Structure 1
Amino acid sequence: MHKEPPAMTHLSDKTQAIENALPHIDCVLIGINSEKTVGRCIESIQAADYPTKRLHIYYVDGGSSDASITIAKQYEGVITIALRPVHPTPGLGRNAGWKTGSSPLIQFLDSDTILDPGWFSSAIKAIRPEKIGAVQGLLSELYPERSFYNWIGNLEWNGLKGECESFGGNVIVKRDALEMTGGYDEEMVGGEDPELSRRIIRAGWKVIQTGVPMAQHDLAMTRFKQYLRRTFRTGYAFAAVRERERSAGSRFWQYEYRKIIIKGGGFSFSLLLAIPLMAVGAPAASITALALAALGTALLLNPRIFKVGQFMREQQLARKEARSYAWHCSLVVLPQLAGVLRYHIGRIFNKPLRNRPARIASEISVQTP
């Protein structure tokens, strides 16, 4: 009978002991109509440089009409949670996922991401200190070359390394921090991630950006209509989160919110004044109208006029790229302003922005053997 050499047995036992000391991680993926990406996301988790027995994958579907759930169920060990809320939100999905599991750490992912294989090894070291409640890493766009919008997203995904003011949708969080704060807001259609992070920070935890690769993201934005919709919702989220932070005595997103109001609102207001003045036809009125229009335009185009060099240095861009980015930074405040106005109008008339209803029955699958 063959016996394993003592040295190999000792090495095997040591490896097993190291693996057993690693924390369990619940991986919560959310998606709607994500049949093109959910399988790829699950496979990236299963291929991570981390013991598979310590990883538990939950796919939470917010109301797909495609084969997303069927695809997720094909993967061994994946638990699917199919929701049918009246108005689906990311917060509903994320809460359903982490509350179903029991691991001390929860990795939240959008289903259109691909996890970096070395992320968990870096993340568990960064999140180990007692006061660290959440850790995020670098997110890069999978295909930045496919569209201008993807390229913009790739520039703006990440903040500076170190302690930060908020996290995004792809982050690893301690269960204790989620239980202490109650988890995600289930009504917000945007901004739910930074909103939760602010409550976690106020509860005494810290949020850390490690500066190491975490995941790739497939924004898949190729049409101007998609860009307008996303930036409109960004403006709505700025307003919604800013209102809550203002009530809490925080200045978080105050600069971003005021920038939208001053630049987008200033430009729009100057045009509203200039148009009737031009219609008057008198020389003085026309000159005043032109001056107002010029002032509003200069306010709007401030990044394009004055910040190209700054973008070249900070983003390490060629001049042509910096000019393109400056145009985006100048004009994006207009759809964002529309989102801000939609938020405040919704508050006045008690009609907040809602997502479309889901179209499937709610269920939680059994784990595949």
Structure 2
Amino acid sequence: MTASDTAAVIIGRNEGARLIRCLGSLQGRVRQLVYVDSGSTDGSAAAARELGAEVVELDLSRPFTAARARNAGLAVLPAGIEYVQFVDGDCEVDPDWIATAANFLQAHPKAAVACGRRRERFPDASVFNRLCDAEWDTPLGEAKACGGDALMRVAAVYTAGGYRDGLIAGEEPELCLRLRRAGWQVWRLDAEMTLHDAQMLHFGQWWNRCRRAGHAFAEGVALHGAGPERHWVTETRRALLWGALLPAVILAGGLLSPYVLLAALVYPAQVLRLSRRMGFERALFTVLGKFAEAAGALEFYWRRWRGTARGILEYK
């Protein structure tokens, strides 16, 4: 693998110093840097140009999505690029990652995607940052999906049709599903990949992130839930059960008899059950998160019934 085989597509909006750090971590390790800007007002586009990146500024008349931004970056890659590193602008890429991942793809011709360990830069800044760091510690080996940071085989992505522009979240697992259906593989390597700066310091940010996940779950089911993969069916059902159906039943029963409200003790019992596997902190927020996920899923169904689409849901 040589740098001439590889490009990087960085997406962002008002990332400031984080974007500069991201671009700097990729300089000299890829043939071309492409930065796709989604309406920044902090001078991100100009800063990226100064660092040698080709800048694509998305048309403001159309809704922003990460999927649309990644497709826009992919579209301007020059001929001869075999691999593309997709990365969010709030991440710093490990110095050894590009070579490690590209060598893996070269050695495994059926592999379309390689991702590694994404870590939170400041996990002790908040409980929400710690939750992100734990979430990204996924099992090693062949996987069903990757996150926003991954090295991909360009030909495979093109063959699959790229990202689905309209998805406000969950676009990477949806692309990976289509890649796997086409016979490609997705791998999680035992290698450091990126440092991410979530800056998630408040409960409202975490709530919106979980709500976005619930929206993605429900939309994923609408797209591929009937397929053999049962894409996000379990996640959506779990969110709706714990975050909507059970609370509604308990509250309705409480109108008939206040003793029915004691059924709400099922929630602390669930926290204690999950604590044995993941610790109290993660268990508590896993249970709380189901309410936010249910809200996101229900919003998707409501908007789908009305025939309206949701714009991007940001948490920072």
TM-score (normalizing by structure 2): 0.93
* C-alpha contact 1:303 1:329 (8 A) present in aligned 2: no
User: Equivalent pairs: percent with the same residue?
Assistant: 27
Aligned to 2:174: 195
Change over 3 Å in CA distance of 1:212–1:302 after alignment to 2: farther
In structure 2, stretches of 5+ residues that fail to align are none
Confirm or deny that 1:209 pairs with 2:188: yes
Q: Which one of the candidate residues 29, 36, 60 is aligned to 2:10?
A: 29
Change over 3 Å in CA distance of 1:260–1:163 after alignment to 2: same
Aligned to 2:59: 84
Q: Which one of the candidate residues 262, 284, 306 is aligned to 2:273?
A: 306
* C-alpha contact 2:33 2:53 (8 A) present in aligned 1: yes
* C-alpha contact 1:26 1:98 (8 A) present in aligned 2: no
Change over 3 Å in CA distance of 1:302–1:254 after alignment to 2: farther
* C-alpha contact 1:149 1:227 (8 A) present in aligned 2: yes
1:315-354 correspondence runs (5 A): 322-354=279-311
| Residue identity in the other structure for 2:199 | A
* C-alpha contact 1:147 1:221 (8 A) present in aligned 2: yes
- Mapped to 1, the partners of 2:49 and 2:136 lie a distance apart of 30
SS state of the match for residue 188, structure 2?
Answer: strand
1:60-94 deviation line (CA, Å, top 9, x unaligned): 0011122111111111x311111124211111110
1:355-366 correspondence runs (5 A): 355=312
Confirm or deny that 1:67 pairs with 2:46: no
- Deviation of residue 214 (structure 1)? 0.4
- Mapped to 1, the partners of 2:133 and 2:238 lie a distance apart of 22
- Deviation of residue 262 (structure 1)? 1.8
- Mapped to 2, the partners of 1:343 and 1:186 lie a distance apart of 16
Confirm or deny that 1:265 pairs with 2:244: yes
SS state of the match for residue 88, structure 1?
Answer: coil
1:1-369 correspondence runs (5 A): 24-46=5-27, 52=28, 54-75=30-51, 77-85=52-60, 86-102=62-78, 103-128=81-106, 129-277=108-256, 285-286=257-258, 290-291=259-260, 293-298=261-266, 300-311=267-278, 322-355=279-312
* C-alpha contact 1:267 1:297 (8 A) present in aligned 2: no
- Deviation of residue 255 (structure 1)? 2.1
* C-alpha contact 2:10 2:36 (8 A) present in aligned 1: yes
TM-score (normalizing by structure 1): 0.80
After TM superposition, the runs of 4+ consecutive aligned structure 1 residues lying more than 3 A away are: 300-303
- Deviation of residue 275 (structure 1)? 4.1
Structure whose alpha-carbon radius of gyration is higher: 1
SS state of the match for residue 145, structure 1?
Answer: coil
Greater shift in the superposed pair: 266-275 or 135-144: 266-275
| Residue identity in the other structure for 1:133 | A
- Mapped to 2, the partners of 1:303 and 1:59 lie a distance apart of 44
- Deviation of residue 250 (structure 1)? 2.1
In structure 1, stretches of 5+ residues that fail to align are 1-18, 47-51, 278-284, 312-321, 357-369
RCO higher in 1 or 2 (8 Å CA, sep ≥ 6)? Answer: 1
Change over 3 Å in CA distance of 1:53–1:45 after alignment to 2: closer
* C-alpha contact 1:266 1:296 (8 A) present in aligned 2: no
RMSD, aligned α-carbons: 1.7
- Deviation of residue 23 (structure 1)? 5.4
